[in-house]
Amino acid sequence: AQKVTQAQTEISVVEKEDVTLDCVYETRDTTYYLFWYKQPPSGELVFLIRRNSFDEQNEISGRYSWNFQKSTSSFNFTITASQVVDSAVYFCALSGPTTGNQFYFGTGTSLTVIP
């Protein structure tokens, strides 16, 4: 079965703190892709990153970093030195042969950064 679990429903941090958003997935596929999206209060969904299952290198983009660990089926997202503009709902998603071209989205983690 394809499944994405984001166990953290809501997180609040004070500005400049680091925060990690967890994503755990289940899949039967040996080749698959994982994604993170950001949904700010304005409502649109913004693509952040795509990672394929063969590339376990961590990725860093500015204050954002992603830790992919196949051994624990996790693809966690860390924001360093959080800012108020990071306040949003963050979604993790999975796609692979079993899903066709479809995405399985997690339920999202709502992050609030307090100034």
Partner 1 sequence: DAGVIQSPRHEVTEMGQEVTLRCKPISGHNSLFWYRQTMMRGLELLIYFNNNVPIDDSGMPEDRFSAKMPNASFSTLKIQPSEPRDSAVYFCASSYMGGSPYSEQFFGPGTRLTVL
Q: State how far Cα 79 lies from the chain centre.
A: 11
Tell me the per-residue interface mask from 58 to 97 with partner 1, x by CB under 8 A, - otherwise.
---------------------------------x---xx-
- Segment near partner 1 (CB under 8 A); pick from 19-27, 38-46, 59-67, 80-88: 38-46
Q: Please answer whether residues 76 and 23 qualify as being in contact, where contact means their C-beta atoms are separated by less than 8 angstroms.
A: yes
Backbone angles phi, psi at 90, to 5 degrees: -115, 130
List the one residue from 81, 102, 112, 114 that touches partner 1 (CB under 8 A). 102
List the one residue from 50, 56, 60, 114 that touches partner 1 (CB under 8 A). 50
41 binds partner 1 (CB under 8 A): no
Among residues 51 and 76, whose Cβ is nearest to partner 1? 51
43 binds partner 1 (CB under 8 A): yes
How many CB atoms sit inside 10 A of residue 85's CB? 8
35 binds partner 1 (CB under 8 A): yes
47 binds partner 1 (CB under 8 A): yes
Q: In this structure, what token pair is assigned to residue 112?
A: 């609030």
Expressed in percent and rounded to 5, the helix, strand and coil fractions of the chain are: 10, 50, 40
How many CB atoms sit inside 10 A of residue 44's CB? 8
Q: In this structure, what token pair is assigned to residue 102?
A: 């479809």
